[in-house]
């Protein structure tokens, strides 16, 4: 029985979505997952600028820390603010005291003028925006920061872009961080990625994946439910599984709780141990998180059966890299009131652009 744990890891985040809360309704009511991408997320991506990116990352990182999460694997997209975007995210996370593995998610869905390609057919060649995204990743990695090579999803990328992304990852000695078969629109991703995937790849969602692919699966049950894409059944694969949130905060204790309920709904024999092993596997990407000390307001933090059925568990203090980064439940390095106020200013700007 203990009230302490290592730092938690969010295995897949979209920090820029911190500003999406309360955003205007899309022009058309989405009827499927592709509509959600077109009407909601891709419009939001295109509206982002560097100030919005910085303060969304600041808010997301602060809220992560206040949930006991000390490490994030982020996936970012902003076709009209590519260069410098990873630096903005890095600066925000460093200021809060949260570790981050960044990436820019390349895609061929954007024209050179920043407008979205409405044709849903498979892109034929690499776009300039995708090439710039790979350049941003390379620059950030060569500056000494932790990164992966990001790809939005196979169905939004040409073969050239997928091959160039895999090649850059190999050159940098890192993995590819890619959404895989999240919706039925990307059900053929496994066939296209089989010859490229490697053990250090991060395969996000895998809801409609039929093939065996090398890599770690990032399971995001809350997001999958929200987007009505189905249950991923991650236990059906032999791959290592970690937990992410797909941008819906970074409360990993709550995500683990939900992942157990979703698993149990699919398999009556499922137990909390499986979901909590997925949560623990995140430390494979951040071994130093095992040395973080998170003290909680609950004294059964070593028992998945207690944690699965106990809500309202919150961290009281966190020490990371020998420094206090959370005190009395609040971040030690930044003023949460100022962060929220600045993030509100940026979300107001963002929502105005979306409503125009």
Q: Which residues pair with 296 in a beta bridge?
A: 315
> Tens-digit pLDDT profile for the chain (356 aa)?
999 999 999 999 999 999 999 988 888 888 888 888 888 888 999 999 999 999 999 999 999 999 999 999 999 999 999 999 999 999 999 999 999 999 999 999 988 777 778 766 778 899 999 999 999 999 999 999 999 999 999 999 999 999 999 999 999 999 999 999 999 999 999 999 999 999 999 999 999 999 999 999 999 999 999 999 999 999 999 999 999 999 999 999 999 999 999 999 999 999 999 999 999 999 999 999 999 999 999 999 999 999 999 999 999 999 999 999 999 999 999 999 999 999 999 999 999 999 98
What secondary structure letter does DSSP report for 194?
T
- Edge-to-edge strand ranges of the sheet holding 330-331: 4-5, 293-296, 315-320, 323-327, 330-331
Q: Phi-psi region for residue 134, left (φ > 0), alpha (ψ -120 to 50) or beta?
A: alpha
Domains and CATH numbers, the chain: 4-355 (3.20.20.140)
Q: Which position has the token pair 């077109």?
A: 38
């Amino acid at each position: 029985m203990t009230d302490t744990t290592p730092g938690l890891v969010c295995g897949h985040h979209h920090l820029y979505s911190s500003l999406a809360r309360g955003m205007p309704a899309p022009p058309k009511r989405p009827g499927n997952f592709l509509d959600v991408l077109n009407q909601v997320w891709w419009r939001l991506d295109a509206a982002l600028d560097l100030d919005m990116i910085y303060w969304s990352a600041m808010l997301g990182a602060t809220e992560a820390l206040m949930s006991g999460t000390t490490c994030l694997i982020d996936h970012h997209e902003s076709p009209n603010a590519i260069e410098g975007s990873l630096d903005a995210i890095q600066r925000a996370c460093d200021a809060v005291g949260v570790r981050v593995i960044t990436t820019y998610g390349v895609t061929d869905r954007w024209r050179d003028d920043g407008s979205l390609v409405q044709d849903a057919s498979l892109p034929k060649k690499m776009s300039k925006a995708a090439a710039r995204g790979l350049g941003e990743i390379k620059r950030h990695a060569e500056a000494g920061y932790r990164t992966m090579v990001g790809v939005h999803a196979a169905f939004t990328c040409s073969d050239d872009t997928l091959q160039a992304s895999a090649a850059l990852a190999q050159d940098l000695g890192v993995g590819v961080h890619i959404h895989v078969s999240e919706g039925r629109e990307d059900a053929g991703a496994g066939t296209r990625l089989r010859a490229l995937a490697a053990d250090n790849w991060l395969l996000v969602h895998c809801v409609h994946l039929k093939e065996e692919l090398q890599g770690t699966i990032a399971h995001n049950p809350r997001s999958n439910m929200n987007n009505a894409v189905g249950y991923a059944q991650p236990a059906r694969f032999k791959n290592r599984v970690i937990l992410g949130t797909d941008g819906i905060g970074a409360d990993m204790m709550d995500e683990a709780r939900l992942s157990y309920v979703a698993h149990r709904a699919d398999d009556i024999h499922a137990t909390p141990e499986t979901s909590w092993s997925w949560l623990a596997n995140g430390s494979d990407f951040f071994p130093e998180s095992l040395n973080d000390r998170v003290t909680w307001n609950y004294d059964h933090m070593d028992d998945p059966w207690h944690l699965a059925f106990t809500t309202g568990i919150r961290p009281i203090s966190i020490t990371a890299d020998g420094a206090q980064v959370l005190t009395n439940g609040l971040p030690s390095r930044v003023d949460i009131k100022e962060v929220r106020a600045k993030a509100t200013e940026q979300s107001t700007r963002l929502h105005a652009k979306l409503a125009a």
